[in-house]
Structure 1
Amino acid sequence: MFCGKSSLTIRCVFLPLNEISTVVTARHFSTTLNARMKKLIDSKRYRQALDIFDKQSHAADDFALNMALKACSNLPDYRRGLEIVRQLSPKSLNNPFIQTSLVHFYMKSGDLKSAIGLFNSIPVKMNPLYTTLFKGLISMKKSKEVLNLYEQNKMKLDEGAFVMVSKACSEICDDRAKRIGKQLMDDLPEDLKGSEKVMNSTIFMLMKFGNVDEAEKLFRQMKHKTIYTYGAMMKGYNDNKKFEKTLDLFETLPFVANEAIYTMVLSSCSQVRDDRARRIGKQLIDNLPEDLKGSENVMNLTIFMLMKFGNVVEAEQLFRQMKHKSIYTYGALMKGYNDNEMFEKVLDLHVNMPMAVDEVMYTILFSACTRLFNDRALQTGKELLRKMNKSYYNNNIVITSAIHMLMKFDLVNDAERLFRQVKTKSALTYHGMINGYSRLDELDKCFQLFDQMKSDQILPNEVVFLSMIGVCAKIGIRSVSQSIVDQIPADLKASQNIQNALISMWGKNSSIGKSKEIFESLSDPDVVAYNSMINSYGLNGMGVEAVELYRRIPVDMRDEVSRICALNACSHAGLLNECRHIFDQIPHKTIKIVTTMVDCLSRLAMFDEAESVIEDYEKTNPPSSAMHMALLSGARNVRDSNLSNRIYKKMQQLFPDEKDTLIAGSVLLSNIYSSIGDHHRAGDIRTNRIKQFGYNVKVALSWTSVNNQLVRFKAHDHSHPQSEEIYEELQRLSCELREHGHTFDSSWITRPVKEDETVESVLCGHSEKLAIAFNFIQQPPPSIIQISKNLRICGDCHAATKLITKLRRCEIIIRDANRIHHFSNGECSCQDHF
């Protein structure tokens, strides 16, 4: 019965009983269907919800249709969803809830075109519709479209829409995003200022912008903070590499840590690695709730942290205890082995790994092979490449790590072939090849590749420029370096990493003024900047300045490199007392620090004291081949054959498996005997070395630059087009040197002189003398000549170059393997300390 009122007359309409029954039954079915579908969807049983919907679709109202679309979105089942869309009536299509679910369905199914088409067709849009579309666009990495829509529609934001727009700003993080983000905060309605979600999103956005101070201010102003607020702050601190602040905040956390907090604090402990971090890390492990012991993410990060602490045994124990291990678990342990230089264990674990190698694993394994550098590593690396799926050939991260490995094993042709096979090269791929060529002293190829990269329309990034700055530092020639520096964009040039690298490069280019200028422009120099500047002073013989700057570094900032650079600077400047004083003040003397002290003492012929330092070290540590090599090098400088022979025999006993060390030691020993005229003994040592190790002595190379063209010379090189002119100029130089008292010193000849050679012809064929002669045949001859050499300059070349600068009235700068020599008017800046 339906009763209505019309004017003053009451009307009653009586329905037949069968019609009343139909209406009641339909409503009952609809209510029951809705309740059952909601229950199933809430418990994520989407397929069952659709099965019920199919059986009772005749009773489905808009609520049930909405639930069915949600089920299709979550499965996802695009085909089934389209069938439901076809069932929608015009009335349903105008229902805002249905419209929102439809947009969500299209976005989840990847059908962006239909989602945008539907969105644009709706005349009156509610905020949930915007929120759903924005969320979908962000998940599809189209945050820029979110900002476009936001600016086009000038909508009033509710909580959900604000969260999405601020997230889009965080994702884009460019100037426009920062402007919109500021506008969001300035226009924030009062009713949203109390929203925890809005405040947390704002903190997250500010942290992404790098506005840490503003985020901290907002955090302090919030009256009601939840664990998610603390999480947003910690995530921001970690993203901004302020790991100490994450630990500070954790120690004030008024809540029990959840999984997200655990992961962020574990990550921070791994980065900080001081006593407090170790204490907090242990506290996290000891107090780990039972429900988190099954969290793979937490367990993996715990393994990673323990490995960073050097607690390898604990990490291995935790790994064995884990019932469910994924490839990420294996990766965490392998990465830890690499960090702790246990490369054999990386390969052992790989053999027992039950799953296929992925992208991250390939990079870890290739890195282990590169650093292990033995026959097993080479065979493993080759096998990995042989079995690698072709799809990885366009993965620049994997290919770059493979190129690094091949270059380390001197498999240049294989590396070049792999490089050519990459269809879509990136800056990273070029970086791998440039680094490899640089390591092999193929520096001209680095520049060729850099030019090819630009011609391929690939913009060099910070990493590539850092590599090229490193190449320029190796070459040590100002004009070449300036040509690269001129190409660095202003924003990259402001990078701390670039500035630190430039300080080092200009120092190695003998442009100490430029190094100092960059260093003094830094408002807050980090330890790398200090170290680079100290090393620059040391290389240029400015030991006093190096020590003064070392003393300016805050004591708690000094690291191992700071101390090594200061000791080296003292060594090159002959500052023995300062060297002893710095060494005595170092609380923890690492193997590298002790080796540097031994080198300093040996360079100054303080052999008894140097051997005493080695003996003290070896009382509590295994012997170090580097220390004995430093001692042998010092003995070579003073041509003490008895001491040299004793040191080398001891090295053979202590380090029988260190092939490269024994080869280098044998070369030094044979050179010593040659220098005292015992060529027979020197020849025997060379013959034994070749029999035992093969012929693999490093080739002497010198680089110079004329008219911005880099030129490389080997000893006795005749490959240059102007070789005839170069050797004619050498002859003129030789005559001038002899006329002014120079005697060619045969003690610097390290091989037998052949019948068709003379002492003079052998020594004049040294690569640095060829480079000097090449500069003198230029018109006009340069007033300043710059040369870089990969080995130490010999004594004859050193004496000859001093005299040449006086005779030819020019300045010659030679950067050898140890230091920079400024030759001028018959003198050298090293004061014969080389």
Structure 2
Amino acid sequence: MILNNIRLCLIRYRYLLSIDRKYLKIFSTPIQLNLTMKNLIISRKYKEVLDLFDQQISLRTDITFNLALKAATKSLNCNRGIHIHQQVPAKLLMENSFIQTALINFYMECHLIDDANRIFSTIKKKNIFLYTAMLKGYINNNLPEKAIELYEEIPKNEVDEIIITLLFNACTKLSNDYSIKIGKDVLSRLPKSFLRDQQLIDTAIQMLMKFGDVKDAEYYFEKSPKKTIVTYAVMMQGYAKNNFFEKALDLFEENSLKLDAIMYIIIYNICASLSNQRSIQLGKTIIDEMPREFLNNTNVVTSLMHMLMNFGQVEKAESFFKQIKNPTLYTYGVLMNGYKNNDQPEKCLILFEEMKKQNIIIDEPIALALIGACSQIGIHSISQNIAQQMSHLKLNLRLKTSLINMWSKSGDIHRAKEIFQSIHQGDTLVYGSMINGYGLNGMSYEAIDVYEQMPENMKNEMTHICILNACSHSGLVNQAQIIFNKISIKTTNIITTMVDCYSRMGLFDEAQEIITNYEKSNPPYLIMYMAMLSGARNHRQIDLSKKLYEQMKNLFPNQKSDLIAASILLSNTYSSLGEDQQAKQVRIKQIGKNIKIGLSWTEVNGEVMCFKAHDRSHPQSNEIYAELDHLSNQLKENGYEYDSSWITRPL
């Protein structure tokens, strides 16, 4: 065995000697060295390239320096690249445009913008390759305004399709008045030959869509001579960003496209945004027809999960999540937000515990989802537990705003106030959250104080609604009237909030007057009628409830889910007056329909439990209801009498 090992070592040694001799022979000329370095770069063996550069000093040429800089750039070895730069002969630095371009590419890739600028400024004879490197570097370093400024310095006779494509990319990123003017002006003056470049046209379409100029984007799309899958992807994304989701689906369904991963992500996101019957059916079809190989693509499956969550198909989304071998933080975020948006916040907490077991450190989006889940649950101890596990995160404005909302809904308004007061420059969302928090906790005068302290230029629809709601829930109708009258632009939602305020106080004539005035110049708005119907139910106004319900059926015959909710309010109004038979008749009509059930959460031994009215899903339901009966009997023995007007089912 020892003899065999010695033989094996000798064989390996002879092999290594043969390699050494082979390389010594190859590198007898600079051409052979450069060819070897080039092949190593193609094979992504950048370290070997740099080692050869260091070893073969005598054979170096301008091409050798160029290849070494390229290897340093590709491997992001910034220190090595700087050292190579220091070894470049002065003559090459002054005269060789390939070396100059390679250096600019290197410094831009290392985010050393000043060094790239310094090299560029020393070059007397600038060519198109140097301009291209600078433009690309500015764009990749998120300096689009610098790219546009540089474009205007380029001699127009040297501009080619690549330069224009980069300019359009810069204009897309910047998207201000200046870039819109430049981008559109250049596009309108392009030579016809440039319009045959499909990549340039794709970039132009993307730019126009970012500018919100959908018609011009459609014009260039139709004019495209050789549309590719990228062209369709850009067009569909553009439609989606401009909220033309149906148009995006039309374009998709009108063309038989061979889908790649990017296109699957785009179409799933569009279907998720729409979440109507058409998109739900299309999404199902695409999933069924998608080749199984795409199930190995985490980004595709994550977009698919997002779509299913938006459709309310939580279990399906979970089944796809289980198939992902290495979920990303973004994937966990999609799942967590899906649970939150589908009223399953307790699952967010379970998922968080699973992430901790896998030593996954949460980022800001995950933290925001968790805080949102705690806000839904509204249990102080749960909120406290989650907040303590976010100490590694820097509390920026978004997180602080979410925490204000969470503590307010968990009943700790003092903690919410502390966070609010720690913010030096709050935005509209911060003020809105604090106003809403005070309102939720019955502190409407404090809410008014915050609203009045708020800079006028920050007040918008959301903050107006928050303060009106705060007044409404505390019965401060006079204060609400004063605030409402001062609002210069009264949107539909602001007017609806005032209708709700009057209805809560039983001021139905005033509520009706607002609706009548609104409908003089606007179509009827269902939520206004729903607000008034809710007030009528609370004040047991059965005639008004019936009248409003009939009006809603006539005005909004196609809004089925809202009419179901309205019928439940009518049924509850009958029940509050003891008219159980009429209430039963209204409810019978809704049996089998998709009625959204109200949910509540409580904490038992550190575990969050979700339940609904008359729930018997808990394994100890019999014991729970027996204990409730026992407590009820004790209350009655001590003189408690229930208010039958709030009972909506026969006892």
Instruction: Name the structure where helix makes up a greater proportion of residues.
Output: 2
- Looking at structure 1, the residues matched to 537 and 214 of structure 2 have their Cα atoms a distance apart, in angstroms, of 41
Partner in structure 2 of residue 494 of structure 1: 395
Could you tell me which of 275, 278, 281 is aligned with 1:376? 278
- Looking at structure 2, the residues matched to 378 and 678 of structure 1 have their Cα atoms a distance apart, in angstroms, of 41
Cα deviation code 1:385-443 (max 9, x no counterpart): 11112232132332122123223334333222212222222222222222222233233
> By how many angstroms is 1:689 displaced?
2.1
> By how many angstroms is 1:598 displaced?
3.0
Partner in structure 2 of residue 133 of structure 1: 68
Secondary structure at the counterpart of residue 589 of structure 2: helix
- Specify every segment of 5 or more residues in structure 1 that has no aligned partner in the other structure, as ranges: 1-84, 171-180, 200-224, 240-245, 759-834
Q: Which stretch of the first structure deviates more once superposed, 151-160 or 728-737?
A: 151-160
Partner in structure 1 of residue 439 of structure 2: 538
- Contact kept in structure 2, 1:437 and 1:446, CA below 8 Å: yes
Q: Which stretch of the first structure deviates more once superposed, 741-750 or 225-234?
A: 225-234
- Looking at structure 1, the residues matched to 426 and 151 of structure 2 have their Cα atoms a distance apart, in angstroms, of 31
**One-letter amino acid of the counterpart of residue 469, structure 2:** N
Matched, 1:166 2:90: no
Partner in structure 2 of residue 93 of structure 1: 27
- Contact kept in structure 1, 2:409 and 2:437, CA below 8 Å: yes
Q: After TM superposition, list the pairs within 5 Å mapping 1:67-86 onto structure 2.
A: none
Aligned length: 609
Secondary structure at the counterpart of residue 426 of structure 2: coil
Cα deviation code 1:716-769 (max 9, x no counterpart): 345546656644553454345435654212222223x2xxxx4xxxxxxxxxxx
- Contact kept in structure 1, 2:138 and 2:147, CA below 8 Å: no
Could you tell me which of 591, 595, 602 is aligned with 1:704? 602
- Do the aligned partners of residues 252 and 370 (structure 1) sit closer, same or farther apart at CA in structure 2, a change above 3 Å counting? closer
- Looking at structure 2, the residues matched to 238 and 577 of structure 1 have their Cα atoms a distance apart, in angstroms, of 52
Secondary structure at the counterpart of residue 305 of structure 2: helix
- Looking at structure 2, the residues matched to 479 and 668 of structure 1 have their Cα atoms a distance apart, in angstroms, of 34
> By how many angstroms is 1:384 displaced?
0.6
Q: After TM superposition, list the pairs within 5 Å mapping 1:583-732 onto structure 2.
A: 583-690=484-591, 694-720=592-618, 723=621, 726-727=624-625, 729-732=627-630
- Looking at structure 2, the residues matched to 515 and 281 of structure 1 have their Cα atoms a distance apart, in angstroms, of 46
Q: After TM superposition, list the pairs within 5 Å mapping 1:138-287 onto structure 2.
A: 138-139=73-74, 142-143=75-76, 146-147=77-78, 149=80, 163=104, 166-170=107-111, 194-196=118-120, 246=145, 258-269=164-175
Q: After TM superposition, list the pairs within 5 Å mapping 1:318-717 onto structure 2.
A: 318-490=220-392, 492-690=393-591, 694-717=592-615
- Looking at structure 1, the residues matched to 479 and 628 of structure 2 have their Cα atoms a distance apart, in angstroms, of 42
- Contact kept in structure 1, 2:408 and 2:416, CA below 8 Å: yes
> By how many angstroms is 1:674 displaced?
1.2
Partner in structure 1 of residue 14 of structure 2: none
> By how many angstroms is 1:382 displaced?
1.0
> By how many angstroms is 1:474 displaced?
0.8
Partner in structure 1 of residue 641 of structure 2: 743
Q: After TM superposition, list the pairs within 5 Å mapping 1:752-767 onto structure 2.
A: 753=650, 758=651
- Do the aligned partners of residues 367 and 724 (structure 1) sit closer, same or farther apart at CA in structure 2, a change above 3 Å counting? same
- Do the aligned partners of residues 310 and 463 (structure 1) sit closer, same or farther apart at CA in structure 2, a change above 3 Å counting? same
Work out the percentage of aligned pairs sharing the same amino acid: 38
- Looking at structure 2, the residues matched to 442 and 487 of structure 1 have their Cα atoms a distance apart, in angstroms, of 21
> By how many angstroms is 1:315 displaced?
4.1
- Contact kept in structure 1, 2:69 and 2:103, CA below 8 Å: no
Secondary structure at the counterpart of residue 493 of structure 1: coil
- Specify every segment of 5 or more residues in structure 2 that has no aligned partner in the other structure, as ranges: 1-18, 94-99, 124-129, 157-162
Which structure has the larger Rg over C-alpha atoms? 1
TM-score, length basis structure 2: 0.80
- Contact kept in structure 2, 1:670 and 1:682, CA below 8 Å: yes
> By how many angstroms is 1:656 displaced?
2.1
> By how many angstroms is 1:688 displaced?
1.5
- Contact kept in structure 1, 2:69 and 2:81, CA below 8 Å: no
Cα deviation code 1:223-271 (max 9, x no counterpart): xx989878866765668xxxxxx499879967779543333223332xx
Cα deviation code 1:497-534 (max 9, x no counterpart): 32332222222222222223223333433333333333
Cα deviation code 1:750-801 (max 9, x no counterpart): 23x2xxxx4xxxxxxxxxxxxxxxxxxxxxxxxxxxxxxxxxxxxxxxxxxx
Secondary structure at the counterpart of residue 362 of structure 2: coil
- Looking at structure 2, the residues matched to 551 and 372 of structure 1 have their Cα atoms a distance apart, in angstroms, of 38
**One-letter amino acid of the counterpart of residue 576, structure 1:** V
- Looking at structure 2, the residues matched to 466 and 335 of structure 1 have their Cα atoms a distance apart, in angstroms, of 26
Cα deviation code 1:425-464 (max 9, x no counterpart): 2222222222222233233322222222333344333222
Cα deviation code 1:99-146 (max 9, x no counterpart): 34532332034344653553353356969746533423543xx32xx1
Matched, 1:106 2:40: yes
**One-letter amino acid of the counterpart of residue 132, structure 1:** L
> By how many angstroms is 1:152 displaced?
8.7
- Contact kept in structure 1, 2:171 and 2:207, CA below 8 Å: no
- Do the aligned partners of residues 514 and 717 (structure 1) sit closer, same or farther apart at CA in structure 2, a change above 3 Å counting? same
Secondary structure at the counterpart of residue 501 of structure 1: helix
